[in-house]
Structure 1
Amino acid sequence: MKKTESKAYAKINLMLRVIGKRLSGYHNLQMVNFKIDLSDTVRLIADDTGSVRVDFYPEFEPENNIVEKIILDFKERFGIREGITAEIKKQIPLASGMGGGSADAAVVIHLLDEMFDLNLSMEDKRTLGLKYGADIPYMLTEGGAIVEGIGEQVVPISEQLTKEVLIVNPGFPVSTKDIFQSVTDYSLPLKHSYIYEVLKEGNIEALIRNDLTKVVKKMYPDFAIVLNDLKKMTDNPVFMTGSGPTLVVLINKEIPEPKVKEFKNTYPAFYVQKHRII
């Protein structure tokens, strides 16, 4: 029996620009993504049963079990006879815009490659991962990256950020499909050289933007209320990650604890935690 495990880190989008729409219906994006120190834990166990099993803790049944699909794909593609069990301990809030499912899937790809000595290139992994989710090619990458197309174009960023963020996840679901279908305005992409320069100077606020925010505010009035309350709580930049509903506060100056406590008391069911960009 072989075992291996790894952390699967959440991501935030410092920037998400919707550049246009493809004939396929998918949107071209330009994003600046970074990981944060919020993670799931993924363990793979290989045995002689030949079967595939995925267990989530706490227990839930995903609508689309991409981890199971990836394991089955690997078994068929590479002739893996062993049974494989994936045990995933969830910490990243579900359907939060932080890529938890994609992070788990990316780690499974890395661990399968390692466990069975497949020696896959990063390009191979990204091509395979893209079949199961547009966030997976980035999630296979360590650190930050400029991500373009539908998510398949990943250019790693060498600049490291050491910022703290406050993550606020309301816990209510939003429909990514409906949100993108409601997008009518498009943005111009930024030059990579400009993005690098801004990050090098530490002027992160100049990049912060999410073109989906106004759509989500219109479709989900409760989200708009939470966003407004967060902006009242702090002068720090507040922005949405992914298609929401998670909001991020970039902590340039410390938020007084009484204000954070008051916000938590107002929204006791929300996930409200400090994390660090890694």
Structure 2
Amino acid sequence: MKIKAYGKINIALDVVGKREDGYHLLKMIMQGIDIYDLVTVDIIDKGISISCNKNYVPIDSRNIAYKAAEGFIKAYDIKKGVNIDIKKNIPVSAGLAGGSTDAAAVLNLMNDLFKVKASQKELSNIALKLGADVPYCLKGGTALCEGIGEEITMLKPFKNHILVLVKPSFGVSTKEVYTSLKIDKIYKHPDIDSIISFMEKDDLKSVSENMKNVLENVTLKKHKVLNEIKSSMLKMNALGALMSGSGPTVFGFFDDMLKAQLCYDYMKKKYSETFITRTI
């Protein structure tokens, strides 16, 4: 059984507090994009095996898709094993939920394959143990995610908007970014309610001008090239540019495919992992 596991961008990302157990409390607008991995799951007699078309992706228990399968098998006392094949197109350690979406795909596929009929809430409980983005990835689309990622409110779809994505040659550790974030030093928070109202009106210009990600406070200071990418996108007629997640991928929204294509062509010469895509 095979499905497309779509990536995401964050149109807004705010950190609003920290729990006693160290988890950060988030408020994020998540948006699915038309870049996806292909995830196939087949039943085998026992164990969990993973194959992947990219040799730098771990194919053992370090892989979040492996952890998802393990969690599902344990939760529902499954007596068989699974073989997972991942055809990766989403860049790794990029802030685009590449690993999280694969894990969510495994949970959804295993639920169907083993005819468990687990509810979204039950799957979400397993997903949350894997990472803050995994519960959202079970559903995808346009959503407001709060708490530590488990409070999901589906929003009016913000689909079919053109964007260019640029992922530099390095990755970023989400854990390190959150560890380095000083919540009391965040002086400007995104106005998420206003952004949602602009999205509901399909007002791309106002959305683009008001997007904000507080994790830029950490990642942009460590990697100056991200500021250069943002500036270049704006010079090339992006309506707005922002880092997605903990980075390092930067995306820009465009109101015209020709402008987006010119930006893509320019960026692709400098950064091999440059994409032109749409929101879904």
Q: Give the AA of the match of 1:19.
A: V
Note the aligned Cα RMSD (angstroms): 2.1
Q: Measure, in 2, the Cα distance between the counterparts of 1:147 and 1:226.
A: 27
2:259 aligns to what SS in structure 1?
A: coil
Q: Measure, in 2, the Cα distance between the counterparts of 1:146 and 1:256.
A: 27
TM-score (norm 2): 0.89
| Runs of 4+ with >4 A deviation | 187-192, 256-259
Q: CA deviation at 1:231?
A: 2.8
Query: Match of 1:80?
Result: 78
Residues 40-55 of structure 1 aligned to structure 2 (within 5 Å): 40-47=37-44, 49-55=45-51
Query: Match of 1:198?
Result: 198
Task: Tell whether the 8 Å contact from 2:209 to 2:239 is kept in structure 1 after alignment.
Answer: no
Change beyond 3 A, Cα 1:180–1:111: same
Q: CA deviation at 1:188?
A: 5.6
Query: Match of 1:275?
Result: 277
Q: CA deviation at 1:82?
A: 2.1
Task: Tell whether the 8 Å contact from 1:168 to 1:273 is kept in structure 2 after alignment.
Answer: yes
Change beyond 3 A, Cα 1:157–1:220: same
Change beyond 3 A, Cα 1:107–1:39: same
Query: Match of 2:108?
Result: 110
Query: Match of 2:148?
Result: 150
Q: Give the AA of the match of 1:199.
A: M
2:149 maps to 1:168: no
Q: CA deviation at 1:247?
A: 0.6
Change beyond 3 A, Cα 1:56–1:147: same
From 2, 8, 12, the counterpart of 1:11: 8
Structure 2 unaligned spans of 5+: none
Change beyond 3 A, Cα 1:235–1:39: closer
Identity %: 31
From 117, 123, 126, the counterpart of 2:124: 126
Number of aligned residues: 271
2:25 aligns to what SS in structure 1?
A: strand
Q: Measure, in 1, the Cα distance between the counterparts of 2:220 and 2:190.
A: 23
Q: Which moved more, 1:25-34 or 1:223-232?
A: 223-232
Cα deviation digits, residues 10-29 of structure 1 (max 9, x gap): 00001111212222222211
Q: Which moved more, 1:116-125 or 1:15-24?
A: 15-24
Q: CA deviation at 1:237?
A: 0.8
Q: Measure, in 1, the Cα distance between the counterparts of 2:209 and 2:228.
A: 25
Task: Tell whether the 8 Å contact from 1:6 to 1:42 is kept in structure 2 after alignment.
Answer: yes
Task: Tell whether the 8 Å contact from 2:142 to 2:158 is kept in structure 1 after alignment.
Answer: yes
2:220 aligns to what SS in structure 1?
A: helix
Q: CA deviation at 1:75?
A: 2.2
Structure 1 unaligned spans of 5+: none
Q: CA deviation at 1:257?
A: 4.5
Task: Tell whether the 8 Å contact from 1:198 to 1:206 is kept in structure 2 after alignment.
Answer: no
